[in-house]
Structure 1
Amino acid sequence: MGDQKPIPGYVNFLIGGASGMLAICVVQPADLVKTRMQLLGPKAKEATLASVARGVMAKEGPLGFYTGLSAALFRQATYTTARLGSFNVLFDYYKVSYGTPNFGTKLVLGMMAGGAGAFIGNPAEVALIRMTADGRLPPDQRRNYKHIFNALGRITREEGVLTLWRGVAATITRAMVVNGAQLSTYTQAREMLLPSLGDGMFLHFCSSMVAGAVTSWASLPVDIVKTRVQNAAKGTSQIQVFFKIIRTEGPLTLWSGFLPTFAKIGPHTVVTFIFMEQLVALYRRLNLEPPKQR
């Protein structure tokens, strides 16, 4: 994404996956709390970030905040590897062929990368939602998956392999919104802030926070619908879930859990892009390339 020769495609994918996996280790507790709040239904209006977190601590202890970490890591290894790798490859190809893309083009590139990553990562997404939701269920209704591979195997055996792609349309919709907002906003903010801040960690932090705020607001409605679809005992469409939420809980419910969503997406965006920038810089240093200028 700069004036140097593009990084090889496979390296972009490796860097994207490693960045996401490192970042999720930091923000997994906030992601679990966010998921629990989204599954409360009408009770979500009475719940707060603090009350849900206290409930997790009381019932499951500190390690309860890392329930489903194996699924979260596997999701990053599939979904984030695909989305960030695809975006960087598409961005480099477009820049070499047509020049620096404008914001609209960045938005389209981000949506394309997000859709591809979502399809690949949907099985891990289904397992992650179920594993993080398990602790809020009565003991006799819990699925008690041991780890990501146990979850994927049991879902396939007990419910059929297509269940792993339950809610894939909702996942792709969310991913296109998230990546369109996150990747395009980050690259645009980076370009706009570079002259005044200079290239470095502070630039990456500020650009990431802007991207995280925009992404949280844009993605929360589709994220809530996706979570409800994937946690449902029987298959249902995102359109049905969307209108049921509006009809029975009110439209503002689509933004319930904004604080934990931003608490997860904000730091996750910051840490992911900081890791990505540092890994890119490390790759270029190891390959004796001059510092990157964008």
Structure 2
Amino acid sequence: MYQGVMNGVRLGSYSYCESLGVTSFHGGSLLSGAVAGALGAFIASPAYLVKTHLQAQTVEAIAVGHQHNHLGVSDAFVTIYRRDGLIGLWRGVNGAVPRVMVGSAAQLATFTSAKEWVSHSQWVSPNSWLTTLIAAMISGVAVAVSMTPFDGRLYHGFSDCMLKVCQAEGLRGFYKGMGPVFLRLAPHTMLSMLFWDLLRQQTVKDQQG
């Protein structure tokens, strides 16, 4: 649910920026991707909070830490709202927005640039799905590299995390676990970008027809 809401808002917003011509300006793709990512992360934040609560739940025999004991998705939303109010549904948004902003900017800007580069190189037909796939693969690497530093341990806020990791381990500390992060994010990015672009191309063809 979280991914569906976030990516729906994010990709839809980016497409809207494209239609306005924002992405054609220098740095426009990067800026549009960042803004779209921030908007998607903010709107989907309650769904992410509920997802995290439900994933953390387990049976008493192996439970670690606080257990929320929600009965389901709807119950989780209602319980959080009753306990913490509307603002409580957006708990943790200050950590989610910067992460998705960076990842979205890297993903969409890299995908757009890579697709143009592959098309101009004439390795394959510009209208071939292979062009989109190659661009999506390149974009997947960019996403993994840009988002790995945000997937570290918990600290007292985003700034505290960045500062302490840098002081303790240097820049290399931000890329611990890069392999698993790549295996998680790269396929997701490849498939998302591939189907998103193919559907956009089909929509344009249908409108022209």
How many residues end up aligned between the 2 structures?
203
Q: Which residue of 2 aligns with 1:78?
A: 5
In structure 1, C-alpha distance between the alignment counterparts of 2:180 and 2:118, rounded to whole Å? 27
Q: Which amino acid aligns with 1:153?
A: V
5+ residue gaps, structure 2: none
**Does residue 110 of structure 1 match 2:37?**
no
Counterpart of 1:276 in structure 2 is 196
3-state DSSP of counterpart to 1:160: helix
Shift of 1:89: 0.6
What's the CA shift string for 1:29-83, capped at 9, x where partnerless? xxxxxxxxxxxxxxxxxxxxxxxxxxxxxxxxxxxxxxxxxxxx2x133211111
- Distance change in 2, residues 1:286/1:268 (3 Å): same
TM-superposed CA distance for 1:132, in Å, is 3.0
Structure 1 pair 262–279 and aligned structure 2 pair: CA distance change class (3 A)? same
| Structure 1 residues 255 and 134: CA distance shift in structure 2, 3 A | farther
Match of 1:94 among 13, 18, 21: 21
> Whose RCO is larger (CA < 8 A, sep 6+)?
1
**TM-score by structure 1 length?**
0.61
Report if aligned partners of 1:127, 1:152 keep a CA contact under 8 Å in 2. Answer: yes
Q: Does 1:265 align with 2:188?
A: no
Over 3 Å counting, the alpha-carbon distance change for 1:152 and 1:247 in structure 2 is farther
For 2:32 and 2:93, the matched residues in 1 are separated by 20
Q: CA deviation at 1:119?
A: 1.2
RMSD of the alignment, in Å?
2.6
How much does 1:271 deviate? Answer: 0.8
Q: Does 1:122 align with 2:45?
A: yes
Pair 1:135–1:224, CA change in 2 (3 A): farther
| Amino acid across the alignment from 2:194 | I
* TM-score scaled by length of structure 2: 0.83
| Cα distance in 2 between the residues matched to 1:265 and 1:202 | 20
Matched residue SS, 1:165: coil
* Secondary structure of 1:143's aligned partner: coil
Identity %: 25
Pairing 1:1-294 to 2, within 5 Å after superposition: 73=1, 75-94=2-21, 100-102=24-26, 104-135=27-58, 138-139=62-63, 141-195=66-120, 196=122, 197-198=124-125, 199-224=127-152, 228=154, 236-246=156-166, 250-251=169-170, 252-287=172-207, 289=208
* Distance of 1:283 and 1:191 partners within structure 2: 20
Q: In the alignment, is the contact (CA less than 8 A) between 1:167 and 1:238 conserved in 2?
A: no
- Alpha-carbon distance in structure 2 between the residues aligned to 1:223 and 1:100: 31
Displacement of 1:246 in angstroms is 4.5
